[in-house]
Chain A
């Protein structure tokens, strides 16, 4: 049985935000809500790393554990979804989530907080698959259309992988083994010069002069 997961390859992510844009466009997500975001560590410093973050569809989801009205549920594929008709917009899930996945629209039913919105792994919600009601509340149901999440399929560098955990783990493993690391990576010398940027001085002499090409 498939267990749907995301993996983001920090070595490949170029912070283009195409995943964010694809998600917003595919699901017509309103202003102020970002189901997916790109986070950059050491921004502007050589060796900076970016990672695309959204709901990770945890197997033992903290949001599900703290929800006082039990609006969350798992699908057969391990996707964490929620029912907006049950959600009371309390925000507990937002505190519990380590990834900041739950989002709240600035103009909603309950004062300024509104009902929670989050990444659905493009799997819709409890309404009938592909229905207009489902689209309005949760966005497109690409999984039921036999497609993978739009963010991963749109990723230009294929940094963001989505799909069955076994399959994408295999893709990622092959990639890591093939490309090597640091100055062994193709194009490193062009981007950062012959030395391995961001590494301690003592280790730089190991970098090949041509950047590993």
Chain B
């Protein structure tokens, strides 16, 4: 008897979620650009995950030289041409996406969660010392330009991917703290929050179960749009030598290497640069689509 009840309960809950998702997809798919963005993103992610299996020259992503084939223009053999030491740029670009996506994911994971938590706490305790402390710390971090701070941190520590990611994460959390703070402090006076308070619900419940679900939409949208910016930031750091170190195939690193050969051997720089543009654009389009999904239709 108990098992059956539970099953019915679960079934009904899932059915409701499914309905919500299909409605979300409908809203998303109204804009063809968003769908294109999603498709491009899916291809990039899939390619990055399956890189060793689908690239023509996976070994070129590791230390490899073949000066004989160096500096060859794009051809059927080497889709994007080869770089100075003979490595296939196409394969390296696909592997390069691995780094870019990883930077995005790790930074957001490291930066977003603390930002949200701090923002919720500060927002719910608006007007008290808790809010002041949290938000002043946030202000300090916001006052420093992200690139400068990331530069400083990576320069102090050994330049490598891990440090780069942590540096960016450190600069990123305040934006989420501020976003969630703004949302939470305005939601605090909503009647359903008041109702929970009057019922005797714990502060934890109110912050994370009542207020937070109403912050989800802007946060998710921002995360999607941020992915593009974080990836760009990572590429920039790599470009100036503070991120992915050669011979690893970071996209920014590749742009820097190929830049020395411009304008003659343009394919060394242009293709990695276009790859960066493509992934950022894809994230932006998906982000726009998400904004549509979360917008409330008024009929």
A and B from one complex: no
